[in-house]
Structure 1
Amino acid sequence: MGEELDLTIREAIPEDAAELLKMTRQIGRETEFLVMDEKGINLPEELLAIQLEDIYESPNNTLFVALLGEQIIGTASLKSSNEKRIAHIAELGISILKDYWGMGLGSVLMEELLIWAQESQTVYRIELTVQEQNTTAIHLYEKFGFQKEALMARGARSDDGRFLNVWLMSKMI
């Protein structure tokens, strides 16, 4: 990473629920690049803790947190279906608090996800959607071998009501 931070990156655990809710509310206010808004993950802490336990024990789902001390400053996830015919496909998501953009944290989180996917031997296709205007994220994904598959017209909507185009990208594992 460009600027050295004393970071810990690890899989999320149920005890992360409160801090994760706090982080997602903040990031929902900071950027329109994500689907979530200022409500963040709209779940009670107890339910989120149960979901984090399920993710931690899943063979084809993961959620990494980037911690600066006790504060979660970023997350990276792979989410797959339990349906047998599509359980090999994971949807990728990376979220980083705005204060930590441009420091290389996205690359570090991406590396962790790709290592996890290769070692899982259950995920063979990773997909993501990214707003066409989010050129920094598109560059990151292309750097790691993701290919653009389709441009989805009106794939998202901005806070002021404008329609935004969204790229579907994928990588084979």
Structure 2
Amino acid sequence: MEYSRLKNGKTLIIRKAQKEESSKFLDYINKVCAESENLTFGQGEFGITEEKEVEFIASLAKADNGLMIFALIGDELVGQLVFNGGHRPRIRHTGEFSITVLKEYWGFGIGTELIKYMINWAKETRLIRKINLRVRSDNQIALNLYKRLNFKFEGTITREFFINGNFYDSIHMGMEIDD
């Protein structure tokens, strides 16, 4: 568990998710997907039952190359990050992360703190050697954050998102983890 002081003066707690919190997470994800067009799913599209979410959180807790962390202010879930590592021997050292923060908390440094936690965790595992991400090409705030944290541009995938009748490209970025 880590504590940090945010730009708004509040204390942020970052810790691993617990399977008993699956309902709290699903409530959170339903709220966050209604607030942003930057996700790979929209309102009502997440499509995971509470039972499946319990299984998912439990599987990440057991995995040496998977992570799910929550950002909390008091008891309120305000952000989350999931890193999924590869399941086969040749790709176990790499994976992709996804991150969300409630809109009312954008700009306070929560995303930065979640990503720093993940990077430190990856280094500590000594297993994770590459962190990947994808982001909508027009999400300049996220792109700036990833660049600031030393993620490197690796390519563009055209038409990866289709939202409200429009196509959007995605930028793929990565960070190599070395000793």
TM-score interval, smaller chain: over 0.9
For residues 133 and 28 of structure 1, what CA distance do their matches in structure 2 show?
Answer: 17
Contact 1:26/1:40 (<8 A) preserved: no
User: Is 1:44 equivalent to 2:52 in the alignment?
Assistant: no
- State the partner residue of 2:130: 125
Once the two structures are superposed, what CA deviation does each residue of 1:109-151 show, in whole Å capped at 9, x if it has no partner?
1110100000011110111100111000001101111111111
Deviation, 1:168, is 0.6
Deviation, 1:47, is 2.3
Report the secondary structure of 2:65's partner residue: coil
Structure 1: runs of 5+ lacking an equivalent: none
Give identity over the alignment, percent: 27
Contact 1:11/1:65 (<8 A) preserved: yes
Deviation, 1:50, is 2.0
Deviation, 1:46, is 2.2
For residues 46 and 20 of structure 1, what CA distance do their matches in structure 2 show?
Answer: 12
- State the partner residue of 2:59: 54
1:11-90 alignment to 2 at 5 Å? 11-39=16-44, 41-90=46-95
For residues 121 and 105 of structure 1, what CA distance do their matches in structure 2 show?
Answer: 25
AA in 1 matched with 2:167: F
For residues 114 and 17 of structure 2, what CA distance do their matches in structure 1 show?
Answer: 13
Count of equivalent residues = 172
- State the partner residue of 1:168: 172
Deviation, 1:77, is 1.7
For residues 144 and 17 of structure 1, what CA distance do their matches in structure 2 show?
Answer: 29
Report the secondary structure of 1:38's partner residue: coil
Structure 2: runs of 5+ lacking an equivalent: 1-5
**Coordinate RMSD, CA, aligned:** 1.2
Q: Normalized against structure 1, the TM-score is what?
A: 0.95
- State the partner residue of 1:135: 140
AA in 1 matched with 2:88: E
Report the secondary structure of 1:53's partner residue: helix
Once the two structures are superposed, what CA deviation does each residue of 1:62-103 show, in whole Å capped at 9, x if it has no partner?
011011222211001211121111111110111001010011
AA in 2 matched with 1:125: K
AA in 1 matched with 2:18: I
